[in-house]
Amino acid sequence: MHPSTDPYTYLGFTRNADASITRIPDHIPTTASSNDPANPVLTKDAPINQETKTWARLYLPAATQAAKLPIIVYYHGGGFVLCSAASSMFQKFLSGIALEIPAVIVSVDYRLAPEHRLPAAYDDCAEALRWVMASDDEWLTGHADMSKCYIMGTSSGGNIVYYVWLREAARMKIEGLILHHPFFGGVERSASEMRLVDDAVLPACVADLMWSLALPLGFDRDHEFCNPVKADIVEKVKVLVTGCGGDPLIDRQIEVARMLAENGVNVIQEFSEGGFHGVELFDDSKALVFYELLKNFISNS
């Protein structure tokens, strides 16, 4: 991305005179759910909260077995300001996970900033996790093993995983967390952020705009929602943190993994060379490597 590129345009936003935004329609491709039995993975949508208009997309391998499957509650990425549970990139990625693990997946559609600033996404995703645990949906009651529940998120979704866990850990048993290229930051630039300041996928100006639109008004990137290094760890759980050297956020991700480990959390770190932020969503060969990593993490939990 050229440094002169407008970050609003990059995100598909038009900035209005009152500092609000207008979203460009169809900027992010979407895919409809389908429970056609000819598909290897079935999907369907279910409402969670009619007042906040949150919902979830459920994934179920078509060739289900008698034994119940692990369940993964997933929070999509997009810097808290973009995408949905219907975004095509996540549909493809999660279909692969459901098939390869195999697992039942519940992908949560939460409210976006700046219309709904943080902690709205945390509120929605925590509520969705409770909804999953109490749901009488036949896909969940018939095929999901709730004693093997994992929470996973990509980018901002990985950030959400962390904060939902801090909220909900004392209320329910979570088998493990997967922070996939998690989105964290801070006012002072890390070495990787400075090295990749004009990164083609996640340049600093775009990440900064995402945080300015998502954080509570009046706060900067040292707010705990962005920079969690001083957060209290009250419950212990197995955590997988993944990233890659071509991501400007890799130093932040390593720092968070270190903070968790220093607080007694069982952390598995997988940081590969090269790549870019969220590379497994777009590179099938990288996705297959991640699926195997995730499969091993779940089977060894």
Please confirm, yes or no, whether 247 is among the known catalytic residues.
Answer: yes
CA distance 222 to 228: 8
Q: Which contacts (CB < 8 Å, 24+ apart) does range 285-290 have? A: 287/93, 287/96, 288/96, 288/100, 290/180, 290/242
Please confirm, yes or no, whether 143 is among the known catalytic residues.
Answer: no
CB atoms within 10 A of CB 252: 23
Which one of the listed residues 135, 155, 156, 190 is annotated catalytic?
155
Task: For the chain, list the strands marked E by DSSP.
Answer: 13-15, 21-23, 41-49, 54-61, 69-75, 104-109, 144-154, 176-180, 238-244, 266-272
* 57, 41 Cβ separation under 8 angstroms: no
Which one of the listed residues 109, 123, 247, 251 is annotated catalytic?
247
* 134, 95 Cβ separation under 8 angstroms: no
Please confirm, yes or no, whether 222 is among the known catalytic residues.
Answer: no
Nearest to 137 by CA among 83, 92, 71: 71
Which one of the listed residues 76, 143, 181, 277 is annotated catalytic?
277
| Residues involved in catalysis | 155, 247, 277
